[in-house]
Structure 1
Amino acid sequence: MTSRKLYLGPLTDNRRWDMIDIRPDDVFVVTPPKCGTTWMQTIVALLFSGDPDVETELSVKMPWVDIRIREMTEVAARLSAMTGRRSMKSHTPMDGLPIDDQATYICVFRHPLDAHFSYRKHVRNIPMSWFDMWYPEDDPDGITFRRFLDGGAEGFDADAMPLAHILQHYKAALALVDRPNVALFHYTDMTRDLPGTFAQLTKLLNISHPKHVLDQLVHAASFDHMKTHAARYAPSGGKGFMKSDSDFFQSGTSGKWVGHLTDQDLTAYEAIMDAHLTPKERAWLEFGAEKGPRA
């Protein structure tokens, strides 16, 4: 941890990475929550295997290293025993991760308001009450959105995914995006052009498959296919981690906040965004390459 920022929350602890020996061909999927993490992990698993029917088992085969739920000694031993190419998931910003010059880092982002409203649904779908104080089921006074805007980027707040944590993720990724082994992807771009996303990743990961195989992999990673087979694709699917595996794949759409926020809410959000990002940076974070191209 000597050169990494400490991120320590009720769910996550990035000191756990100290037990992982990074290999040159490792792939890290690094995102704020509800920004396309599972989707990107599934695409990576499909590309690794070349098999549209592969059992992804992401929580075991591509573990979320930061989360405290599993004993780190067990996670580290399982990763060490893997003989094939490995991928791991993190919700820690890049400045809190071990950065290796040869490993690949895939950072995925989404419009912060879409991520926020998706997270609201997500906490209702988990049978644990970790964040009830942040996300009350009955919220006539708008507490949830105020905490989204006011929450800090680190500590307890970070695991509840306030806007500050998303911005910290984004800035930490932007600081490293000029490296050839760090790439930024946007949820909207993935939705708009999934075959193009696969094409980018095959180059980034140095993986090649025949076109007919790639077409099958793209279909397997489509939203409708993943939702239809939710027990297979959802994190810990079929194991009761969520009330509904299918509801994990809520809609796959953008603009979830439209009609749910007041003018005052939106003005406060826009002020924070404009204070922390350039117009180009903000355009990309909200809308992807269509509004603000970013390497």
Structure 2
Amino acid sequence: MTCQKLYLGPLTDNRRWDMITVRPDDVIVVTPPKCGTTWMQTIVALLLSGDPHVETELSLKMPWVDIRFREISEVADRLEAMTHRRSMKSHTPMDGLPLDDHAQYICVFRHPLDAHFSFRNHVQNISVPLFDDRYPKDDAGGTTFRRFLEGAADGDDCDAAPLAHILQHYTAARALSDRPNVSLFHYADMTRDLAGVFAKMSALLGISHPAAVMKRLIEAATFDNMKQNAASYAPGGGTGFYRSDAAFFHSGSSGQWRGRLSDDEVAAYDAMMDAYLAPEDRAWLEHGAVGL
């Protein structure tokens, strides 16, 4: 991978993309962790199939290429054998991915503090102790948030979703957003206007469905429906990877961090955000279109 930045973490390795031949009609969902990845993948699966009851099976049918849980040769062979339009996901920033001129790159973001607290819940819900040192259950000393602020965008820190990694995702995607095949979405906008997101995605993918079908697809992608049918929608659902599949969809709301941080912690976060981003970029990253 000579043209892309290296992102090599304890769990992920973006060099695995060297084994994947990107096709012009591929759809690649690119997000920091816990920013609406599964939600957007589900929207893509629903639109590609036109079936509100589609078995998404995201881990196999729309794989996370970067993660080293499966041999990359097996993932690459499975993708190569697919004759239908494919979709994949990545938690690698855009400057670490192969950039095809025609494949669609769908980048999704969320208020960094909401993403952080969602990741805290995620860590407590997985059945293997992957991040216990960074996300201790008893955290009276504020270790978790301090590491969120101090962690690097790459290397050993990147898989733990530090703020620097989220900011790197955003700046790398924003730098390419003038390309017609790189699109930025925000979790808050998906919450406010899911039908509008479906309409935009339909246009990007060049897919249309009758209004009655679209209505059923949108209903299938609501947070409540996905949570109620978590074993079907959570990646790896029904396998025992999570202590609770439903808890994967912990909260579809924004602002869950309010009242859970000290004034000093909020001030440190504000300082880092203001140092990295212009005011309009910070407003969008935190709140989506309503922030502008």
TM-score using structure 2 length:
1.00
Cα distance in 2 for partners of 1:213, 1:219 equals 10
The residue type paired with residue 256 of structure 1 is Q
In the alignment, which residue of structure 1 is the partner of 2:159?
Answer: 159
Using the TM superposition, give the Cα deviation of residue 269 of structure 1 relative to its aligned residue in structure 2, in angstroms: 0.2
In the alignment, which residue of structure 1 is the partner of 2:276?
Answer: 276
In the alignment, which residue of structure 2 is the partner of 1:225?
Answer: 225
Cα distance in 1 for partners of 2:126, 2:54 equals 26
Verify: 1:10 aligned to 2:17, yes or no: no
Secondary structure of 1:16 counterpart: helix
The residue type paired with residue 263 of structure 1 is D
Using the TM superposition, give the Cα deviation of residue 256 of structure 1 relative to its aligned residue in structure 2, in angstroms: 1.0
Structure 2: runs of 5 or more not aligned: none
Q: Pairwise mapping of residues 18-33 of structure 1 onto structure 2 (< 5 A)?
A: 18-33=18-33
Task: Please list the CA deviations of residues 184-231 of structure 1 after superposition, one character each: whole Å capped at 9, or x if unmatched.
Answer: 000000000000000000001100100000000000000000000000
The residue type paired with residue 197 of structure 1 is V
Cα distance in 2 for partners of 1:113, 1:90 equals 21
Using the TM superposition, give the Cα deviation of residue 129 of structure 1 relative to its aligned residue in structure 2, in angstroms: 1.2
Task: Please list the CA deviations of residues 216-259 of structure 1 after superposition, one character each: whole Å capped at 9, or x if unmatched.
Answer: 00000000000000000001110111111000000100111111
The residue type paired with residue 63 of structure 1 is P
In the alignment, which residue of structure 2 is the partner of 1:263?
Answer: 263
Verify: 1:38 aligned to 2:38, yes or no: yes
Cα distance in 2 for partners of 1:249, 1:186 equals 17
Verify: 1:180 aligned to 2:189, yes or no: no
In the alignment, which residue of structure 2 is the partner of 1:251?
Answer: 251
Secondary structure of 2:28 counterpart: strand
Task: Please list the CA deviations of residues 18-47 of structure 1 after superposition, one character each: whole Å capped at 9, or x if unmatched.
Answer: 000111000000000000000000000000
Q: Number of matched residues?
A: 292
Cα distance in 1 for partners of 2:73, 2:153 equals 28
Cα distance in 1 for partners of 2:127, 2:135 equals 14
Verify: 1:210 aligned to 2:210, yes or no: yes
Task: Please list the CA deviations of residues 44-98 of structure 1 after superposition, one character each: whole Å capped at 9, or x if unmatched.
Answer: 0000000000000000000000000001000000000000000000000000000
Using the TM superposition, give the Cα deviation of residue 112 of structure 1 relative to its aligned residue in structure 2, in angstroms: 0.1
Q: Percent identity?
A: 71
The residue type paired with residue 159 of structure 1 is D
In the alignment, which residue of structure 2 is the partner of 1:56?
Answer: 56
TM-score using structure 1 length:
0.99
In the alignment, which residue of structure 1 is the partner of 2:106?
Answer: 106
The residue type paired with residue 244 of structure 2 is S
The residue type paired with residue 67 of structure 1 is I
Cα distance in 1 for partners of 2:4, 2:32 equals 18
Cα root mean square deviation, aligned: 0.4
Using the TM superposition, give the Cα deviation of residue 283 of structure 1 relative to its aligned residue in structure 2, in angstroms: 0.1
In the alignment, which residue of structure 2 is the partner of 1:201?
Answer: 201
The residue type paired with residue 35 of structure 2 is C
Secondary structure of 2:4 counterpart: coil
In the alignment, which residue of structure 2 is the partner of 1:119?
Answer: 119
Cα distance in 1 for partners of 2:182, 2:279 equals 22
Cα distance in 2 for partners of 1:24, 1:62 equals 16
Cα distance in 1 for partners of 2:11, 2:240 equals 18
Stretches (4+) displaced over 3 A:
none
Cα distance in 2 for partners of 1:256, 1:129 equals 24
Structure 1: runs of 5 or more not aligned: none
